Amino acid sequence: MRVEKRNLAEFTTLGVGGPAEVWTVENEGDLAKAVSKPFRILGNGSNLLVSDEGVSERVIRLGGVFAQGDLGSVRGDPHLTPWIGAGVLLPSLVQEALNKGLSGLEPLLGIPASIGGAVRMNAGTRFGAIADVLEAVEIFHDGAFVVCAPEELSFAYRQSRLPAGAVISRVRLRLRKKSQDEIASLLARVDSARKGQPKRKSAGCAFKNPPGDSAGRLIDAAGLKGLSRGKAEISLEHANFFINRGGAKAKDFWELVTAVREQLPLELEWEIWGELS
Ligand code: FAD
Ligand code: EPU
């Protein structure tokens, strides 16, 4: 196990965030030690706005056995995967599924999450979400590893319900066999739906879509595209993406969030860590 003082900007896709004590756990024993004081779990940092002052809690990163695992060798249809460490990155699983002729992960193409973070957020696109392909989720809670059925986690749009203080430790998926051509063709459709999204540093969509509408469309219609604070900017390509043009601060992003909310009653999709206002 490594315990280091690090700037969380190093671990967030937005590239902002101040200092914290970062505990990189390698195995079950490390995890049990790490959760003995107040903590937060860091996935791939792709849905986080972290304060410039950092956070006072321990920040746990899942390394070692929790960052290992793959889709396994394909036998039946459906194919039930082995347990996959929650720290494994989703893009590598999407690629592996294509290589092995396994279908179900295509809707998640382009989401730079850890599989644990994807489950926690029920990450997805209009083509589907991670909850659709979950067989089981292992969580570490109250000192024990417990297996949950997906139904127990109340998945909804960009939402799950975990017991307070639970850590997702491993995940099993249920995938279907399909030809690589069919998988590639769905991947191409998902990729094409992402064409309007900026490639620059962001944390994906800042706000959830309200029922029946798109937050990006609403922010755009309110004339807020291109609004900037410091080096943070509401993307000209897609108004629900806020980008770091280099050297932006968390407080700059928070000012953009506040400016949008002065005009529109939108709910944040980002998770906020630490004090911002
Ligand atoms: P983090 O951002 O590190 O954490 C998010 C939350 O999950 C935090 O509360 C954290 O504590 C918790 N968490 C993480 N891991 C665990 C764990 N093992 N156990 C318990 N809690 C945990 N999202 C979509 O849904 N659809 C998209 O199309 C999409 N596109 C994106 C495109 C880009 C370019 C980017 C940067 C982001 C995009 N996102 C999208 C947002 C983001 O990728 C998702 O919300 C993702 O699920 C976050 O996963 P993460 O591992 O990065 O989690
Ligand atoms: N639109 C505008 N202006 C903009 C952006 C969008 O008018 O600046 C319009 C588009 O023209 C389109 C509509 O709004 O008519 C919807 O836009 P888009 O197809 O880009 O989808 P979205 O609703 O903005 C959602 C998810 C994305 C996901 C895409 C693809 C949310 C909040 N966003 O975006 O998820 O990648 O669909 O399926 O649910 C994320 O959650 O972080 C995320 C990126």
Q: Is there a single domain that holds both residue 74 and residue 60?
A: no
Q: Is there a single domain that holds both residue 258 and residue 220?
A: yes
Q: Is there a single domain that holds both residue 73 and residue 171?
A: yes
Spell out the residues 6+ positions from residue 211 whose beta carbon is closer than 8 angstroms to its own.
none
pLDDT at position 277:
74
Ligand 2 pocket, residue 271 CB under 6 Å: no
pLDDT at position 157:
98
Q: Are 266 and 234 in contact (CB under 8 A)?
A: no
Q: Is there a single domain that holds both residue 181 and residue 118?
A: yes
Q: Count structural domains, the chain.
A: 3
CA of 111 to the centre of ligand 1 (A): 8
- 205 catalytic? Reply is yes
- 123 CA: nearest ligand 1 atom: 25
Q: Is there a single domain that holds both residue 154 and residue 231?
A: no
Q: Is there a single domain that holds both residue 51 and residue 145?
A: no
Q: Is there a single domain that holds both residue 84 and residue 164?
A: yes
**Closest ligand relative to 216 C-alpha:** 2
Q: What CATH number does residue 249 fall under?
A: 3.90.78.10
Query: What would the two tokens of residue 167 be?
Result: 């850590």
Apex 117 CA angle, 111 and 121, nearest 5: 80
Query: Can you give the pTM of this predicted structure?
Result: 0.98
Ligand 1 pocket, residue 114 CB under 6 Å: yes
The last residue of a domain, from among 144, 174, 193? 193
pLDDT at position 54:
98
Q: Is there a single domain that holds both residue 249 and residue 171?
A: no
CA of 113 to the centre of ligand 2 (A): 18
CA distance 232 to 246: 8
pLDDT at position 179:
98
Q: Is there a single domain that holds both residue 81 and residue 104?
A: yes
Q: Is there a single domain that holds both residue 12 and residue 60?
A: yes
- 158 catalytic? Reply is yes
**Closest ligand relative to 210 C-alpha:** 2
pLDDT at position 273:
98
The last residue of a domain, from among 158, 193, 228? 193
- 119 CA: nearest ligand 1 atom: 47
Ligand 2 pocket, residue 217 CB under 6 Å: yes
Q: What is the pLDDT tens value at each position of the chain, 277 positions in all?
A: 999 999 999 999 999 999 999 999 999 999 999 999 999 999 999 999 999 999 999 999 999 999 999 999 998 999 999 999 999 999 999 999 999 999 999 999 999 999 999 999 999 999 999 999 999 999 999 999 999 999 999 999 999 999 999 999 999 999 999 999 999 999 999 999 999 999 999 999 999 999 999 999 999 999 999 999 999 999 999 999 999 999 999 999 999 999 999 999 999 999 999 999 7
Query: What would the two tokens of residue 75 be?
Result: 């036998």
**Closest ligand relative to 158 C-alpha:** 1
The last residue of a domain, from among 50, 65, 80? 65
Ligand 2 pocket, residue 239 CB under 6 Å: yes
Identify which of 39, 57, 120 to mutate to test ligand 1's pocket (most ligand atoms within 8 A of the CB).
120
Q: Is there a single domain that holds both residue 159 and residue 263?
A: no
Q: Is there a single domain that holds both residue 102 and residue 18?
A: no
Ligand 2 pocket, residue 237 CB under 6 Å: no
Q: What CATH number does residue 126 fall under?
A: 3.30.465.10
Tell me the residue range of the domain where 221 lies.
202-273
CA of 232 to the centre of ligand 2 (A): 20
- Set 6, 170, 172, 205: catalytic member: 205
Q: What CATH number does residue 10 fall under?
A: 3.30.43.10
CA of 127 to the centre of ligand 1 (A): 17
